[in-house]
Structure 1
Amino acid sequence: MLAQSNRKFTYDEYLAIAEKQRAELIDGEIYLLSSPTFEHQRIISRLNVLFENLLEDNECVPVISPFDVILEDKNEKNIVQPDLLVICEREKINERGFAGVPALIVEVLSHSTASRDYVVKMNLYMRFGVKEYWIINPQSRTVEIFNIDENGYYGIPKTYSKDDIVKSQIFDFIQFPINKLFDFKR
């Protein structure tokens, strides 16, 4: 996160920084993004292939980072770059990214982003009504799936680990063995 003196960054300030470095703007704070690890990229690559195949005959489409998701309300713009997202409203794709609420967002944890993924981003995604939020942990080789309830909150996640079949709650056709994401041989 960029140090600041109790002020919020503007969207224009974000754009100036994002020209030089991958970044996110969440609730007026700018978070600089570092390059992901090899393992992180392998997981996202595998998941993207699975989603592409499973969503083949659907109007929804998976997109991998870097790709801006613009979550905007009357007070401010938030710009995030989830590791993977599923877009079902293609008409909201523009030259800057996707200006809307994805149906599903996936984040892969790293040491530097874990607290942001579990707190800052989870609260943002919940506030904007992202129906399903997946957190993939390469260390524990688990997938946690949070679903928004009728009150607009994420409840206790469904956690998948070795030998489980990962299942989306909002897309009944998205299900696959977790070993498709991880190398359990090591």
Structure 2
Amino acid sequence: MPFQHKRQTKIYYTYADYASLPEEERCEIIDGVLYMQAAPSRIHQEILMELSRQIANYLAGKPCKVYPAPFCVRLPDGDEKGDEDIKTVVEPDISIVCDQSKLDGRGCIGAPDMIVEITSPSSARKDRLEKFYKYERAGVKEYWIVEPEEKLVSVFVQGDNNRYGRPDIYTEGDEIKVSIFPDLVISLKNIF
């Protein structure tokens, strides 16, 4: 049952609500607001698979792991104690987690080291605004926004002030050097 704030009539959802939904329901919760997700397009899935493949090949035998969607990431805002307190639950298209203590049987609790979101017409605003700020505040070191229609990738890296600077923009045919893995280069030639 969603949490209803005493002073407001607005209903807030939590991870407990998310966990009680049928498995075939795709949704995310950001700051207690529930967002239903449409099934991804074929192009979206092709990009997801190729990026995941390149990253997974590099990470084979290393402690960091790549998790393609659907993969639950719980982002506590502070000292939430239980499932009924966590009001942000996302399913990034790709999550890379190096700190194994953040993983449990349900997914990741806390910030992955890197997140990739592949936009669709229905998700672009959420990926560029709500998720951008949640990922930055949570401490995601590197955040990619992939735009299939424009064939663009915007790469945001956290600086010394724990904020994302201006993005580096890449397009079809470029290669991207992943900042959290200096010897990993992703070729966009096979992505778009």
Q: Do the aligned residues in 2 keep the contact of 1:142 with 1:161 (CA within 8 Å)? A: yes
CA 1:126 to 1:18, structure 2 compared with 1: closer, same or farther past 3 Å?
farther
Choose 136-145 or 108-117, whichever is displaced more.
Answer: 136-145
Separation in 2 of the partners of 1:6 and 1:60? 39
Q: Which TM-score applies when normalising by structure 2?
A: 0.87
Identity %: 35
* Structure 1 residue runs of 4 or more that deviate by more than 4 Å after TM superposition: none
Q: Do the aligned residues in 2 keep the contact of 1:109 with 1:138 (CA within 8 Å)? A: yes
1:19: Cα distance to partner? 4.3
What's the counterpart of residue 25 of structure 2? Answer: 21
CA 1:23 to 1:144, structure 2 compared with 1: closer, same or farther past 3 Å?
same
Q: Do the aligned residues in 1 keep the contact of 2:92 with 2:115 (CA within 8 Å)? A: yes
Partner AA of 2:138 in structure 1: F
Aligned with residue 58 of structure 1, among 48, 62, 65: 62
Q: Which runs of 5+ in 1 are unaligned?
A: none
1:50-106 Cα distance to aligned partner (Å, 9 max, x none)? 001111242101110001011112254221100001010223221211112110000
RMSD, matched Cα = 1.7
Q: Which runs of 5+ in 2 are unaligned?
A: none
Considering Cα pairs closer than 8 Å and 6+ residues apart, tell me whether 1 or 2 has the greater RCO. 2
What's the counterpart of residue 177 of structure 1? Answer: 187
Aligned-partner SS, 2:129: helix
1:32: Cα distance to partner? 0.9
What's the counterpart of residue 47 of structure 1? Answer: 51
Q: How does 1:85-104 map to 2 (within 5 A)?
A: 85-104=95-114
What's the counterpart of residue 40 of structure 2? Answer: 36
Query: Does residue 143 in structure 1 map to residue 153 in structure 2?
Result: yes
Partner AA of 2:26 in structure 1: R
Aligned-partner SS, 1:133: strand
What's the counterpart of residue 7 of structure 1? Answer: 11
What's the counterpart of residue 127 of structure 2? Answer: 117
What's the counterpart of residue 178 of structure 2? Answer: 168
**Matched residues, number:** 179
Q: Which TM-score applies when normalising by structure 1?
A: 0.89
Partner AA of 1:74 in structure 2: D
CA 1:141 to 1:70, structure 2 compared with 1: closer, same or farther past 3 Å?
same
Q: Do the aligned residues in 1 keep the contact of 2:52 with 2:66 (CA within 8 Å)? A: yes
Q: Do the aligned residues in 2 keep the contact of 1:61 with 1:87 (CA within 8 Å)? A: yes
Q: Do the aligned residues in 1 keep the contact of 2:110 with 2:138 (CA within 8 Å)? A: no
